[in-house]
A = this chain, B = another copy of it.
Amino acid sequence: MVRGIGFEKLNSIQDALDKLLTSLKSLGVEHVDIFNSVGRVLAEDVFAPIDVPPFDRATMDGYACRAEDTFGASIMSPILLRCVGSVKIGEVPKISIKSGEVVKIPTGGMIPNGANAVINLEYTKDLGETIEIYKSVTPYKNISKRGEDVRRGEVVIRRGEILQPQDAGILSSLGIAKVKVYKKPKVAVISTGNELVQVGERLTNGKIYSSNNPMICNALRELNFEPINLGIARDNENEITRKLENSLNYDAAIFTGGTSVGEKDLVPLVVERYGKILFHGVAMRPGQPTAAAIVDSKPIFMLPGSPAAALLSFYVFVVPSLYRLMNIKIILRKWSKVEGELMDRIPSEIGIQSNVRVYWEKGKIYPIRISGSGILTSFVKANALLEVPENKEGYEKGEIVEVMLIRDITEVCE
C-alpha cells in the first residue's frame, strides 16, 4: 500500500486467506474434563480401552430365553415357558437357563448363561410360575452383544474432530474422563482512534463511543474463543506499540481501526516493525482495508474501524485463522442442511417420526446400521440425521434427500 494514496493492489479474499493460513501453526495441547469438552478440537485419536457394552445386555424389558423355545408362538397359540427367576440390573445373574425356561430381565440387564434372546414384556403374560409367550423371537433378538457398540482397541473418535455432546457420551461410556485437545486461542482485542470513548465514560464533543471492542469480544465468545479486551489506543505510535507488545502475551491480536492508508492509519506501520505484513487491502466490500501480519509466530489482525466492515473481516479472516491455531479447517458447520443421494433404502413405520442416523460424504448418504437406540456410536459414526415424517414409509435407494449435519465437518491441517 502507498500511504495517503490508496491501495496499490487489492488481494483476492482467497489469496489473502491462503497467506494467513499457511503462516500459522497449531497451539499446544491440554487435557479437558469430558463434562466440559463441547466445541473443543480433539488432539489425538481415541481408542476404546474396553468393549461396549462390556457384556451381552437386554435392550428391552422382558424375558431372557432360548429363541428356539419360542418358535411358532402367536396370540392364537401361545407357548408356555417356566420362569426360573429374575436378573437384577447392574448385577451378574446368579441363574442360568435351560430349554423351556425363561428369566425376567430389565432393559440393560446382563443376559444369563443359556439365554440367546429376550422376548418383549408386551408379548407375554405372567401366569405365576409359567409365562405365556405370544410371539416368537429370533436368536439375539433384543440383545446388545458385548463389543457390539465399540470393540476394544477400535478408534472411536479421530483427531481433528470438534467434540460434540454425543462424543462426551461415548467417551464417558468408555470410562475416559479426560481427553487431549488443542488449546483454545486467547485473543487480545484493541480499538484505535483518538475519537473513541469507552462505553461507561462521558462523551465529550467530537468523540464517539467505541463499538468494536464489545462487538469483537462477543463474536469471539460466541465461537468459544477467549477474548481479552485491551481497550482503546490513541492514534499515536507509542500507544499502538504498547498495546501490540501487551497483545503478544496472548495467542492472537485483533486491532480495529487505523488500518487504512490515511495519516492516522498507524497500525500496519507499527506492526511492520515487529514482524511481517502478509497482506494489506482486500477485494471485498465492506472490509477492503483489512491487513494481517505475523509477529512472534502470532497472527495480528488489522480490521477496518467501521464496525460492519470489522465484523465481516472477522468472519472471513479471523475465524478460519483461529481454527487453524487449533489445527483444523472447518468445511461445513453442524446444523447445516446438505443434500445427497441415498446409498441404501430406509424403511420407516407410518405414524411415527423417525430420525435416521446417516453418514454424509460428498453428496452420498449412507444409513448407519444400528440395532437399537442404545447404540451410542451410531451417533458418533453418523454425521447427519435424516428425518422421516410421520406420514412417510421411508425412502428408496437412489432418492435425493436433505439431511442435517450433527457434527462439524473438519479437515486436519498438520
Contacts and interface: CB of A to CB of B under 8 A. Distances in A.
B36 A218 contact: yes
A273 B50 CA distance: 40
Give the number of times this chain occurs in the complex, counting copies.
2
A244 to B, nearest CB: 20
Contact of A166 (B199, B307, B354): B307
Nearest to A351: B283
A206 interface: yes
Contacts of A52: 208
A202 B13 CA distance: 53
Nearest to A354: B285
A177 B199 contact: yes
B175 A203 contact: yes
Interface string A89-113: 1111000000000000011111000
Contact of A375 (B193, B308, B353): B308
A205 interface: yes
Most chain-B Cβ atoms within 10 A of its Cβ — which of A199, A221, A263, A309?
A: A199
Contacts of A372: 306
Contacts of A194: 88-91
Interface in A127-174: 163-166, 168-174
Interface in A265-301: 283-288
A121 B2 CA distance: 12
Most chain-B Cβ atoms within 10 A of its Cβ — which of A10, A165, A333?
A: A165
Nearest to A104: B263
Contacts of A207: 90
Nearest to A88: B194
Contact of A229 (B35, B89, B349): B35
A376 B174 contact: no
A409 B10 CA distance: 36
A308 B374 contact: yes
Nearest to A196: B90
4 closest A-B pairs by CB: A286-B373, A169-B215, A61-B262, A90-B195
